[in-house]
């Protein structure tokens, strides 16, 4: 018997895993940012040198010749694990898992030079035009880290587009362990943390915290929605805090998924693992409604309006960056269009009234898997639940 290995056309792989795998160039840049995060960089610099060149520079662990041959040139197998502690004592969960992310480079540009150096090792330079790749030693590199030069950029990175990139990275990266700095001529900005600390009355009317564990949802609401006059009408109710425990299976009654039976669903919910969410509830009201419902504010001073983002540890998952109403809040409220004053309490939160994030973990929620093509999640039973 003979064992066989595929031999692959480099340009085909670059086209398939790079050019066609990303819905936009911002998502491709994010892949390279993730790679810098995964090797412990404290800063990654995205430097638009001129119209045709982008440099991505990190001060992470770097690579030597061995790493290039063993990992960089090995497709479809990631050498990454779960987490590690970086030099500033932050725990980082490595974003990499599939071993294909670097092909984002081929989406961005036609020629690549990668300079890299590991501590105590010789520097290297790797080059490709996506047909042929070469590796050389480079003794001129002094510090550890990696600098990727992308030439012949496919996209026109106008100042507007660069600002859009900043906004995209702000939403898709949710950690402070590594800083992202974007430079282009006069432009020089660090990407900010998107979500502020929830402060009811300041940036939301209510902060809703959800935690899931084994089919139970633990809900806490911290609210500053109603004026003190409201207490007169419901003296037994705490209008500032509300806690509740919900058995998720009960919520599924009448839903198509419930036909699978409680036993099966219960075991799927166990497998789904623990996760949490932190939501900002907000709405602008008319003066009339403010008086009628005893709301405390017409509007809050600040607002967080980005939809609900799904993060797996430090990074959001493609297609869940808050643009799409993936929780189906709009559908739910259209089915139940009652006004807030409806006596049955059938009013539903609208999609434009809630933002915030759901947080899942690489290990804990392993059943929620990214699609290989980076366009979202596998919509399996765990996803539906």
* Binding interface with ligand ATP (CB under 6 A): 35-36, 38-39, 58, 60-63, 71-72, 78-80, 96-102, 146
Report the residue number, 62 or 96, with the smaller CB distance to Mg ion.
96
CB of 33 to Mg ion, least distance (A): 10
Q: DSSP character for 295?
A: B
63: tokens are 């690579």
Report the residue number, 105 or 359, with the smaller CB distance to ligand ATP.
105
210: tokens are 């959800």
Report the residue number, 226 or 315, with the smaller CB distance to Mg ion.
315
Q: Which of 62, 170, 173, 201 is nearest to 125 (CA)?
A: 62
Q: How many helices (H) and strands (E) does the chain have?
A: 10, 17
Report the residue number, 99 or 201, with the smaller CB distance to ligand ATP.
99
Among 27, 30, 33, 35, binds Mg ion (CB under 5 A): 35
CB of 309 to ligand ATP, least distance (A): 19
CB of 101 to ligand ATP, least distance (A): 3
CB of 62 to ligand ATP, least distance (A): 6
Q: What is the dihedral of CA 325, 159, 50, 193, to 10 degrees?
A: -50
Taking the C-alpha atoms of residue 106 and residue 18, their distance in angstroms, rounded to an integer, is: 5
Q: What is the dihedral of CA 327, 331, 335, 339, to 10 degrees?
A: 80
Report the residue number, 95 or 206, with the smaller CB distance to Mg ion.
95
Report the residue number, 102 or 118, with the smaller CB distance to Mg ion.
102
Contact mark string toward Mg ion, 89..128, x via CB under 5 A: -------x----x---------------------------
Beta strands in the chain (DSSP E): 43-50, 53-58, 83-85, 91-93, 109-117, 124-128, 133-137, 145-153, 179-184, 187-190, 206-213, 216-223, 241-247, 275-281, 308-312, 315-316, 354-360
Binding of Mg ion at residue 174 (CB under 5 A)?
Answer: no
Judged by CB under 5 A, how many residues of this single chain contact Mg ion?
3
The number of residues making up the chain comes to: 385
DSSP per position, 72-131: IT-TT-----SEEE-TTS-EEE----SS-GGGHHHHHEEEEEEEEE-TTS--EEEEE-SS
What residue 100 binds from ligand ATP, Mg ion, none (CB within 5 to 8 A, per partner kind)?
A: ligand ATP
CB of 62 to Mg ion, least distance (A): 15
The residue ranges that bind Mg ion (CB under 5 A) are 35, 96, 101
């Amino acid at each position: 018997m003979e064992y066989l290995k595929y031999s692959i056309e480099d340009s085909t792989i670059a086209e398939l895993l790079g050019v066609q795998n990303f819905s936009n160039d911002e998502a491709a840049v994010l892949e390279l940012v993730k790679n810098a995060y995964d090797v412990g960089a404290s800063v990654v610099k995205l430097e638009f040198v001129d119209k045709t060149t982008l440099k991505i520079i990190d001060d992470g662990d770097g690579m030597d010749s061995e790493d290039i041959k063993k990992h960089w040139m090995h497709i479809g197998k990631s050498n990454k694990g779960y987490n590690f502690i970086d030099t500033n004592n932050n725990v980082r969960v490595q974003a990499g898992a599939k071993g294909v992310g670097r092909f984002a480079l081929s989406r961005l540009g036609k020629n690549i030079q990668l300079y890299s150096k590991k501590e105590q090792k010789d520097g290297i330079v790797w080059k490709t035009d996506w047909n042929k790749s070469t590796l050389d030693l480079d003794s001129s590199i002094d510090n550890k880290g990696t600098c990727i030069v992308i030439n012949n950029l496919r996209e026109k990175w106008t100042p507007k587009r660069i600002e859009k990139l900043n906004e995209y990275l702000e939403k898709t990266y949710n950690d402070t362990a590594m800083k992202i700095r974007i430079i282009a001529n006069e432009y020089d900005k660090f990407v900010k943390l998107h979500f502020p600390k929830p402060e009811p009355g300041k940036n939301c009317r209510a902060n809703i915290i959800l935690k899931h564990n084994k089919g139970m949802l633990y809900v806490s609401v911290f609210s500053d929605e109603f004026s003190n006059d409201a207490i007169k009408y419901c003296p037994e109710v705490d209008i500032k805090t509300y806690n509740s425990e919900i058995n998720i299976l009960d919520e599924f009654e009448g839903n198509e998924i419930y036909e699978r039976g409680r036993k099966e669903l219960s075991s799927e919910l166990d497998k789904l693992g623990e996760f949490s969410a932190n939501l900002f509830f907000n709405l602008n009201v008319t003066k009339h409604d403010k008086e009628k419902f005893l709301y405390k504010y017409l509007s809050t001073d600040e607002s967080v309006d980005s939809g609900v983002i799904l993060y797996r540890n430090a990074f959001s998952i493609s297609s869940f960056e808050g643009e799409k109403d993936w929780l189906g809040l709009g559908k739910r409220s259209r089915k139940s269009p009652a006004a807030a004053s409806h006596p049955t309490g059938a009013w539903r939160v609208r999609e434009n009234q809630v933002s915030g994030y759901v947080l899942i973990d690489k290990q804990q929620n392993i059943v929620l898997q990214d699609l290989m093509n980076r366009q979202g999640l596998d919509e399996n039973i765990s996803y539906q639940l």
